[in-house]
Amino acid sequence: MTKKPNLILLLCLLASTWTQAQTKLVEKVTKKGSELVIPYEKHVLSNGLTLVIHEDHSDPIAHVDVTYHVGSAREEIGKSGFAHFFEHMMFQGSDHVGDEEHFKIVSESGGDLNGTTNRDRTNYFETLPSNQLETALWLEADRMGFLLDAVNQRKFEVQRSTVKNERGQNYDNRPYGLATEYTAKNLYPYGHPYSWLTIGYVEDLDRVDVNDLKNFFLRWYGPNNAVVTVGGDVNPKEVVKLAEKYFGPIPRGPEVKPTKVPAPVLAQDRYISYEDNIRFPMLRMTFPGVPTFHPDEAALDCLAEILGQGKNSILYKNLIISQKAVQATVSHPTSELSGEFTFVALPYPGQRLDSMETIIRQSLAEFEKRGVSDDDISRFKASYEAGEINGLSSVAGKVSQLAQYQTFTGNPNYITKQMKNYMGVTKADVMRVYNQYIKGKKAVILSVIPKGQNVAAAAPDNYKISQEGYKAPDYGYDGLKYAKAKDNFDRSKRPASGKNPVVKIPPFWTDKFENGIKVIGAKNDEIPTVTLLFTIQGGHRMSALEPSKAGVASLTASLMNEDTENYTAEQMSNELEKLGSSISIASGAESYTVSVQSLVKNLDATLKLLEERMYHPKFAQDDFERLKKQQLEGIANQNTQPTVIASKVYNRLLFGEGNIRAVPQSGTEETVKSITLEDVKNFYKKNFSPTVTNLVIVGDIDQPTIMPKLSFLNKWEKKDVSLPPATITKTIDKTKVYLVDKEKAPQSEIRVGYVAMPFDATGEYYKSNIMNYVLGDAFNSRINLNLREDKGYTYGAYSFFSGTKSVGPFTSGAGVRANVTDSALVEIVKEITNYRDSGITDAELAFTKSSIGQSDALEYETGFQKAGFLNQIIQYNLEADFVDKQNEILKTITKEEINALAKKHLPIEKMNILVVGDKELMKPKLEKLGYELVELDKEGNPVQVQVAPAVEEPRSEAPAGAAAPGSTEKKKKGKKSK
């Protein structure tokens, strides 16, 4: 009897030794003083998986990121888009997680999630309350080790359709959406892994089958090609144990070696072109750059900023200020194998693309003569430092940086070296990289030509892609076998949740200035920054007092970002960038916002510039003429974008003729043309007042310190500002379909909705959002699952209530493939109708309460999140305990209440249905749906339906009061509705 316990003891000791051998602690990095570093532990499991852990108990959340070192650069000619396709398939269930369950489990845990793919890596991530950490690791490990048996042909076909929709929405149906694709395939040699985009080609997606996809997974998705990074309110020892439990048994995959390809070499400038449905032509000039983390990356980034970023750049002066282009930028995006130094110019109609190329080349010559100034270097370094610091404001931001550095450099602490590289850039470095990579070098020069316009390319096409010398790589797909982990526990059991974390609403303080400004603030000491957000009531809504000047609010905001009485726009920009600060003014539907971001150490200097910008706008005539021209061109450009057309016409249908909300915030061509500089000055004088202003302050500063610094706000003169009353002039008697023609559009935009109710925090509006959650708000909502996951019609479908103080529409919609527009519309209407008539299920109600109820942990993490929360309190005059009241409503709301809200607020028989797309393809199908069909133009005006002239018959006498045959009255009676 004594041997058995000893045997058990021996086995336990062996098991303990075996477990400890699974994971090796490679390094532990801690923060010393004020250095910019992300503390972490790095471990490696025996199967090659790298585990990086960052401990941060400032908020009760955890973020899990799994990065696989595979992107489109691991694909082959003819099989493009695999990495991105697999990103979609990884959400379709695994052995122990059902179809669509990944999204559902994370959502009902109060978390959010996503995945992204680029050229060089694919990552999957979740942010959840910290008590759900084990669930996140269980989910990620299951799709790493137990995916392929759950991948079937049906899921493959649905996700193939979804990816096609994504390509249509983000590339084929978007202005300039194919510019990067044309550049890539002409910049890199045939077969180079960067010569196609991550989204891939539709013909390649059509060519492959589910077995090709499975082989791709077996080759690249092993634990030895992955980094698991966990951050937040976690215990590193516990994380290691959980990683060993769930990831440790997964067998090692095939070895993955670094990809090595030569940098592209261009013997001549390669001129290429294509046509697009756009208003402004585009010139895009791309030189080969350097890869990410190359020693010259920082200097080239600085060069790009000097040449074409911000109001002090050379291209801004030569193309924007001179009113030759509506947009001109220079960028230096980098990837693991290469970089691209790119100039982009969008000339105004009437300007030539070859002239754009000439000006760009003249600007380079000007740079050579001008050189690099001390201010150039100061601006670049300060902006980079501020950007890095702000990137660390969230656990997700820190985790993603650790994951990126580990994946591409093998050193999670590379932030210290990266910061040293950027802070060490000199004027000589910038001139050296200019001479090495740009001066005298050849480029791919792409002209994007507007369809139907007589616009010439910068030069005739002179380059054809050649396959000469191409040899397909052997990526080692032969003989791959699927081996599953062998566990000593039941992996099918979902882990139990830990104790719910205590979520504390950020403590805040309030104050008020003598002139009426209401102030609310909160201290946030995680990073040394301060955010100020002014909300000035009015905005576009004020144009209701003078509708003929609609667009003046937007134009006023634009001018306030330009010259002041004591600074040119360039001088102001220079000073702000040297501080690493930003001040921006924007106009919205019902308010103006003034946003300020500053490092604490530079706050005083930033506030002096804020005082200048708010109190002393110059409203210069030349700025006015240039910005008015830009606004008019922007209005003309709206009709090239289906989503913009849909938004504009939908608002007009909702609010009706004569309501300012039916007019775009940018105004119309007619209203903007009528605006004078005096109108702008008067708008500013009348409507910018402290009496309608709220101020939110969040940052590493307390009330006694910040308020004296803001004493200059007391100088702001009080004005009597009366907001126009909110009026709704449009009612819907019955549902109709309104059709706007967007010729040859590969996708259609659908909007279904009506004017519902204004915002409230604890009343019927709040409760209706709870009601809508499973209809169209959650990823697992009925509408999205139907249209995206079941039918493959769309990249995403939705419904929501969007309330303001005065008004709040209900909207459902989607961007769908053109050939299924009618079917998609039927499904949207069906889901709304079924939910309204049959109500919510018990399971859906439980999911809604769990998901919304636990999401509070994610709501108040960053300074921007805290500012948004406080802004809501002060804007709507909410009580301090409104969140507690919301939680109580959520906890106690019943199925019967939800169903009553659905019946009341989903009047599907009295909603507008708008479809924007290819009329020739859609109209015959839409006419069969049984709705009255009304054709509109792109402004929302009825289209005159052409009726064939009546054949002239011999006239006969008609009774008094009757219409003679063929008369006008009779023809009117037979016309279709407009």
Instruction: Identify the pLDDT of residue 749.
Output: 97
Output the pTM of the full model. 0.90
pLDDT in tens, 199-231: 999 999 888 888 888 999 999 999 999 999 999
Q: Give the per-residue pLDDT at 7.
A: 37
386-440 pLDDT, tens digit per residue, is 999 999 999 999 999 999 999 999 999 999 999 999 999 999 999 999 999 999 9
Q: Tell whether the model's pLDDT for residue 843 goes beyond 80.
A: yes
Q: SS3 breakdown of the chain: % helix, strand, coil, rounded to 5?
A: 45, 20, 35
Domain definitions of the chain by residue range: 38-246, 270-395+402-450, 509-715, 736-936, 953-978
Tell me how far apart the alpha carbons of residues 196 and 728 are, in angstroms, rounded to a whole number: 50
Q: At 677, is the pLDDT very low, low, confident or very high (cuts 50, 70, 90)? A: very high
pLDDT over 80 (residue 978): no
Q: In CATH, what class is 270-395+402-450?
A: alpha beta
d(CA 65, CA 230): 6
For residue 953, what pLDDT band results from cuts at 50, 70 and 90?
Answer: very low
Look-up of token digits 């980034």: 301
Q: What is the pLDDT of residues 906-949, one digit of tens each?
A: 999 999 999 999 999 999 999 999 999 999 999 999 997 544 44
156-163: average pLDDT:
90
Within this chain, domains 38-246 and 736-936 share the same CATH topology: yes
Provide the edge-to-edge strand list for the sheet that holds 912-917. Answer: 794-801, 809-817, 747-755, 912-917, 736-741, 932-936
Of 192-196, 450-454, 558-562, minimum mean pLDDT range:
450-454
Superfamily of domain 736-936: Metalloenzyme, LuxS/M16 peptidase-like (3.30.830.10)
DSSP-derived letter for residue 480 is: -
What was the pLDDT predicted at 945?
59
The answer, yes or no, to whether residue 637 has pLDDT greater than 60, is yes
Three-state SS string over 611-638 comes to HHHHHCECCCHHHHHHHHHHHHHHHHHH
Q: Tens digit of pLDDT for each residue in 77-107?
A: 999 998 999 899 999 999 999 988 999 999 9
Share of the chain above pLDDT 70, in %: 94
How far apart CA 678 and CA 769 sit, in angstroms, is: 43
Cα dist from 936 to 542, 632, 654, 828, 917, whole Å: 28, 22, 14, 22, 12
Q: Which of 772, 746, 774, 769 is nearest to 847 (CA)?
A: 774
Residues in contact with 215: Cβ distance below 8 Å, sequence separation at least 6, in sequence order: 477, 480
Place of tokens 């098991």: 15
Average pLDDT over residues 23-31: 93
| pLDDT score of 857 more than 90 | no
Alpha carbon distance, N-terminus to C-terminus of the chain: 95
Cβ contact 709:604 at 8 Å = yes
| Mean pLDDT over each residue of the chain, to the nearest integer | 91
**DSSP SS3 for 850:** helix
Which CATH code fits 38-246?
Answer: 3.30.830.10
Given a cut of 60, is residue 956 above it in pLDDT?
A: no
Nearest to 605 by CA among 583, 632, 629, 635: 583
Residue 33 has pLDDT above 90, yes or no: no
Dump pLDDT digits (tens) for 297-333: 999 999 999 999 999 999 999 999 999 999 999 999 9
CB atoms within 10 A of CB 508: 19
User: Residue 500's pLDDT is what?
Assistant: 81
Per-residue pLDDT for 712 more than 50? Answer: yes
Superfamily grouping for domain 509-715: Metalloenzyme, LuxS/M16 peptidase-like (3.30.830.10)
pLDDT at 729: 64
